[in-house]
Amino acid sequence: MENLISLKEIVKVYEMGEESLYALHGVSLDIKKNEYVGIMGPSGSGKSTLMNIIGCLDTPTSGEYFLNNKNVSEMFDDELAEIRNKEIGFVFQTFNLLPRSDALHNVELPLIYSGLTKRERIRKAEEALTNVGLADRMKHKPNELSGGQRQRVALARALVNDPSIILADEPTGNLDTKTGEEIMALFEELSNKGNTIIVVTHEEDIAKHTKRIVKMRDGLVCEDRIK
């Protein structure tokens, strides 16, 4: 099967004044469609940097990144924005919803940027919210929702544009264990439906849900294990 994500010798250097800080030392990694991958590692291991690069929020200093056979590492800001909009669905630890907008509008937002009509947007956003079990919470603002519900809204937003990858950064970090398990169950369901999911975490409990674990240390992949 063809690679959905192909990272070749990715190096990321941060210039901190005089010093150069190597966040990634040359990471190569291939991820196929419908994989469910956990990226693990202690803080400072470069897993967040790697996630930002996979998510097209950041570009590598050197190395090549192919997403769906497109060389993303050479793209400019606005092209990357389009890739993020169409190909990637983010789920963040702190949910990152717009506080002044209700659940429906939050989920609708990516569709606005991809230029869908109002009717189409509402239909898709409602469907996505229903799929995560929030059919009765669409008109609620984030501060009127519980943590678990907020993460479901974020998940609905990530899914609404049918992305190639769902990229989750510590998705249960701000949730209690029970709610966290519920969210992980949702991820499992999505994986079974054929979605490609990458979860970045430092919790073994969370990583055990995934089907492949990539461990990072000092800016390098130190272990890559398929269960």
Partner 1 sequence: MNFLLELKENIIISYKAIIANKMRSVLATLGIVIGITAVTLMQTAIEGINRAFESSIASIGTDVLYIQKFEWFGREDFEVYRNRKDITLQHFNFLKRFAQTSASMCPTQGTLKTLQFQNLTLEDVFIIGTTDEYQTTFGTNIDDGRFFTTRESEGGYPVCVIGMDVKNAFFENVNPIGKYIKVGTHTFKVIGVVEKQGSLLGLFSLDNRIIIPIQRFVKLFGTRRSISINVKAADINNIEETKEEITSIMRKARKLKPGMRNDFGINQQEAFQQTYDQLTFLIKAIGLIITSLSLIVGSVGIANIMFVSVKERTKEIGIRKAIGARRKTILFQFLIESSLICLLGGLIGLAIAFPISLVIDAFVLPTVMPLWIVILGIFISVMFGLLAGFFPAYSGAKMDPVESLRYE
List of residues 6+ apart from 185 with CB closer than 8 A: none
In the complex with partner 1, the residue whose CB is nearer, 90 or 187, is: 90
CB of 153 to partner 1, least distance (A): 12
Written as six digits, the tokens of 206 are 């969370």
Question: Tell me, what amino acid is at 55?
Answer: G
Stretch 11-70 residues interacting with partner 1 (CB under 8 A): 52, 55, 57-58
In the complex with partner 1, the residue whose CB is nearer, 55 or 219, is: 55
- Out of 109, 128, 129, 155, name the contact with partner 1 by CB under 8 A: 109
Written as six digits, the tokens of 218 are 């000092």
Written as six digits, the tokens of 205 are 């409990």
CA distance 153 to 151: 5
Closest CA to 191 of 210, 172, 171, 213: 210
**Which helix (DSSP H) or strand (DSSP E) does residue 213 occupy?**
strand 212-217
3-class SS of residue 205: helix
CA distance 44 to 64: 22
In the complex with partner 1, the residue whose CB is nearer, 126 or 169, is: 169
In the complex with partner 1, the residue whose CB is nearer, 100 or 193, is: 100
In the complex with partner 1, the residue whose CB is nearer, 70 or 208, is: 70
Show the binding pattern over residues 72-101: x = contacts partner 1 (CB under 8 A), - = does not: -----xx--xx-xxx---x-x---xxx-xx
Q: Tell me the backbone φ, ψ of residue 151, rounded to 5 degrees.
A: -70, -30
Stretch 170-209 residues interacting with partner 1 (CB under 8 A): none
The reply to whether 166 sits near partner 1 by the rule CB under 8 A is no
Q: Do the Cβ atoms of 183 and 175 come closer than 8 Å?
A: yes
The reply to whether 141 sits near partner 1 by the rule CB under 8 A is no
In the complex with partner 1, the residue whose CB is nearer, 106 or 209, is: 106
**Residues making contact with partner 1 (CB under 8 A):** 52, 55, 57-58, 77-78, 81-82, 84-86, 90, 92, 96-98, 100-101, 109-110, 112-117, 157, 161
